[in-house]
Amino acid sequence: MTKKRTKNSTRVSLSTRALHGTKLYPHKAPVAFPIYQTSTYRFESSEDAIRYAKGDPTVFVYSRYHNPTVQEVEEKIALLYGAEDAVLFSSGMAAITTTILAIAKPGNTILSTPALYGGTYRWFRDELHHYGINVRIIDPHNLATIVEYADTTTCIVYFETPTNPTLDIIDITEVAQQTARARAKIGKPILSIIDNTFGTVVNQNPLEMGIDVCIESATKYIGGHHDLLAGVVVGQNALCNRVRNVAKYLGGCLDPFAAFLLNRSLATLELRVLQHNANAFTLAKALENHPKVKRVLYPGLPSHPYHRIAKRQMRGFGGMVTIELQPSRKYTPAEAAAHVCDSLNVAVNAMSLGGVETLVSIPVFSSHVFMSDSELARHGVSPGMIRISVGLEGIDDLINDFTQALDTLR
Ligand SMILES: Cc1ncc(COP(=O)(O)O)c(C=O)c1O
């Protein structure tokens, strides 16, 4: 935004200068993009208000609609994805719910893979039917079910890969192709949407593989420091404008300060993710050899059932590793997982993921807490699992920490 220079500025009172600050001085563009920590914007004259009323999108009026700091980050994230546009939100869930409510209408159906982030899964399971929107589960490893289940009510194919917490891999190109076939079958638009939080744009770009919309919880790798909440939707202009319009009513806009932090985080996104990938790969290999570990789930390991697909569609295998413990003589599986988490000295026992510190969580007590035993079984989640968001600590420190914690299991 340009600043107006006030002539004869020293003639105005101290109070006026105190109130109007640098507006009295020539504008000097800062190197770091500033935080426009404001809810509203000064019009140059009422001409601006009239231009806004006539639909000119370049007039800033109110920060729930748009904000320069937020816009700067939206443009950068769109650029990272090679996309036309991006919309930022106050959280990943705000991004997911607003996008779906912007597309789906009462009577519509969403085709979804079963393994989703717990918040999304529960919203689909417990809330969406109140809006008259149905969810039908497809088989993630028989994606022809997309075409089979598609009918004139279908509006979205929704999925995640790698999945939480089992790190299952779904063939992204195949989802795009089957969605195209489903579209042709019913003769109506169907949008494919991926939650790309675990992969991040650094490791995989689903838009290049034919997916229509990418969503990320920017709370995770984009933010990367466990100090903010944000979400982002990336895709074509028309879709993003539709989402932006609904966001105005639902109100999940990003705060300018969080946008400033995100902008700072973007500067190190690639560096951080590459190191998360390297640390996770080395830790996964080390844990595979520990006698107290029954299974290590990591898409970068040749032992992963869908390693071949991961190698084809991912540039790196991500920073998330899940382990399943061997049965213990002393503890139930969930107690054993809790005992290991409580014995760690470097890794932190905390929910969330994607930040610089290594975090551990037990899915049955965190992301999957509201699921029945049969749902847990369907999702392949067992009580003896520990999900590790591998951070940027020295890799030897992490290996030593997990080794000593696992060694205490009896
Ligand atoms: C894969 C995934 N998607 C979405 C979300 C929701 O993001 P937020 O917590 O920023 O609302 C999470 C949160 O853990 C997640 O792991």
Q: What is the mean pLDDT of the segment spanning 277-291?
A: 98
List the CATH number of the domain containing 190. 3.40.640.10
- pLDDT score of 5 more than 50: no
Question: Secondary structure of 191-255 in the HEC alphabet?
Answer: EEEEECCCCHHHHCCHHHHCCCEEEEECCCCCCCCCCCCCEEEEECHHHHHHHHHHHHHHCCCCC
Domain boundary (266, 293, 308) is at 266
Residues 202 and 108 in one domain: yes
Structural domain contains residue 38: no
% of the chain residues with pLDDT over 70: 95
**If you measure from the C-alpha of residue 93 to the centroid of ligand 1, how many angstroms do you get, rounded to a whole number?**
6
Structure tokens at 355: 């930040």
pLDDT tens sequence across 367-393: 888 889 998 988 899 999 999 999 999
Ligand 1: which residue has its CA nearest to atom 2? 117
Pick the closest to residue 154 from 135, 139, 171 (CA basis): 135
**If you measure from the C-alpha of residue 33 to the centroid of ligand 1, how many angstroms do you get, rounded to a whole number?**
27
Residues 223 and 289 in one domain: no
Domain residues for the domain of 206 are: 66-266
Q: What is the mean pLDDT of the segment spanning 400-410?
A: 97
pLDDT of 3 reads: 42
pLDDT of 7 reads: 45
Residues 165 and 288 in one domain: no
Residues 190 and 281 in one domain: no
pLDDT of 362 reads: 97
Domain boundary (247, 266, 285) is at 266
Which pLDDT band holds residue 11 (cuts at 50, 70, 90)? Answer: confident
Residues 183 and 251 in one domain: yes
Structural domain contains residue 16: no
Residues 142 and 286 in one domain: no
Which pLDDT band holds residue 2 (cuts at 50, 70, 90)? Answer: very low
Which pLDDT band holds residue 12 (cuts at 50, 70, 90)? Answer: confident
Q: What is the mean pLDDT of the segment spanning 321-325?
A: 98
Residues 203 and 77 in one domain: yes
**If you measure from the C-alpha of residue 12 to the centroid of ligand 1, how many angstroms do you get, rounded to a whole number?**
51
**If you measure from the C-alpha of residue 92 to the centroid of ligand 1, how many angstroms do you get, rounded to a whole number?**
5
Instruction: List 160's β-bridge partners, or say none.
Output: 195
Average predicted confidence (pLDDT) for the chain:
94
List the CATH number of the domain containing 324. 3.90.1150.10
Structural domain contains residue 61: no
- pLDDT score of 152 more than 60: yes
Residues 233 and 200 in one domain: yes
- Burial label for 101, CB within 10 Å (0-12, 13-18, 19+), is middle
Residues 273 and 345 in one domain: yes
Q: Rounded to whole angstroms, how far apart are CA atoms 317 and 339?
A: 28
Ligand 1 pocket member 92 (CB < 6 A): yes
pLDDT of 370 reads: 83
List the single range of 2-16, 73-87, 105-119, 374-388 with lowest mean pLDDT. Answer: 2-16
Ligand 1 pocket member 217 (CB < 6 A): yes
- pLDDT score of 163 more than 60: yes
Domains identified in the chain, total number: 2
Residues 262 and 335 in one domain: no
Ligand 1: which residue has its CA nearest to atom 7? 92
Task: Give the single-character DSSP code of 57.
Answer: T
Structural domain contains residue 139: yes
- pLDDT score of 9 more than 60: no
Structural domain contains residue 18: no
pLDDT of 240 reads: 98
**If you measure from the C-alpha of residue 355 to the centroid of ligand 1, how many angstroms do you get, rounded to a whole number?**
13
pLDDT of 21 reads: 63
pLDDT of 4 reads: 45
Q: Rounded to whole angstroms, how far apart are CA atoms 262 and 271?
A: 15
% of the chain residues with pLDDT over 90: 88
Ligand 1 pocket member 203 (CB < 6 A): no
pLDDT tens sequence across 54-71: 999 889 999 999 999 999
Contact 341, 349 (CB under 8 A): yes
pLDDT of 43 reads: 94
State the helix-helix crossing angle for 269-288 and 395-407, rounded to 10 degrees. 40
Q: What is the mean pLDDT of the segment spanning 96-106?
A: 98
Domain boundary (236, 266, 296) is at 266
Which pLDDT band holds residue 31 (cuts at 50, 70, 90)? Answer: confident
